[in-house]
Amino acid sequence: MKKVRVAVVGASGYSGEELVRLLLAHPGVELVAVTSRQYAGRTVGEVFPRFAHWPAARELAFREPDAAALAREAEVVFLALPHGVAAEYVRPLLEAGRVVIDLSADFRLRDPAVYEAFYGHQHPAPELLSQAVYGLPELYREAIRQARLIASPGCYPTSILLPLVPLLREGLVEPDGIVVNSLSGVSGAGRKAELDYLFCECAESLRAYGVPKHRHLSEIEQELSVAAGRQVLIRFTPHLVPVRRGILTTIVVRPTLPVTTAGEVFQLTGRIEACYRAAYGREPFVRLLDDRQLPDTKNVVGTNVCEMAWRLDVRTGQLVIVSAEDNLLKGASGQAVQSLNLVCGFPETTGLL
């Protein structure tokens, strides 16, 4: 098998580190370049000793990012960079005919005005937004196969869109009044030395943040609106919890069908179950739980799987949906590799199971 040459820009962050791990072990790719200004000149094995058993990790050194050099060496380039920074690499890489898989938020939104409203500055490359495909394989698989610019979703959006999009598409839940609460491990904030994320500030402590307008709301509402065929606004509250990784999301939404009689409950239950089975019954990275289980981060951390379960609350007439995922894998690097597999024609699970 001829291996696809890949590079990772921003390989020293948590998501970048996970990308390196997955790509070193991927049978269909050759990792040819990793960049980090902080670690330039040091090998991958030196910076991440847990990879040192891989010969490639002992030989491959971090270097300063250079778009022209990356375009010469790699066929696919992953960008694991902060928002606002990734765009400067995308244009030259696309012009050189390379495939770009961007883990930042720079190309997830279709409207540059929405980007400016949520990220606080003008979009750095609005002319490229129309080329980007939202990189959630379970929703946009065929478009991803043909894409040259893939905007890999954020961790919170993945945990919210997978449960809600099929129900909104089928008209089984109301687009109005959706309430979402998510709990995230500290690695979701990235690898940075800030007071709020030091051990003594996070341990034995729970707190909400990003209230009332977390940045991920922009892409969540965009994709929910597409699914519903009308504008959708949701009430989203993220929370920081003292674990390293993992996201647990709880969604409360009102069904469109009444649930006042046993027959109505039976009908709605059957339709929801059928909707989810049709959407995800054959998906390798979505695990639908039965009525005896609820999602648990301990069962998904270290995997590319999103667990989902739902309960109909007849007393209040609402539907409660719970999902769990690893924020660094299905919420970031694993999902990006899933898109790589689609673009390159590999089985979608390659390097992820």
Please, what's the b/e burial string for 99-114 (b: 16 or more CB within 10 A of its CB; e: otherwise)? bbbbbbbbbbbbeeeb
Count of C-beta atoms within a 10 Å radius of residue 315: 7
**Of residues 308, 318, 158, the one with CA closest to residue 223:** 158
> Which DSSP symbol is given to 152?
P
Does the annotation mark 275 as catalytic? Answer: no
- What one-character-per-residue DSSP string does 10-77 give? STTSHHHHHHHHHHHH-TTEEEEEEE-TTTTTSBHHHH-GGGTTSHHHHH-BEE---HHHHHHH-SEE
- Retrieve residue 302's tokens: 């270290």
Alpha helices in 170-216 (DSSP H): 199-202
* Spatial strand order in the sheet of 29-35: 62-63, 29-35, 4-9, 76-79, 99-102, 149-151, 132-134
CA distances from 332 to 111, 146, 250, 328 (A): 22, 20, 20, 5
Count of C-beta atoms within a 10 Å radius of residue 279: 20
Pairing of strands 99-102, 149-151: parallel
Count of C-beta atoms within a 10 Å radius of residue 312: 17
**323 close to 163: Cβ distance less than 8 angstroms:** yes
Q: Which one is catalytic: 155, 202, 306, 344?
A: 155
Half-sphere exposure in the Cβ direction for 332 (13 Å, CA): 30
So which residues are the catalytic ones? 155
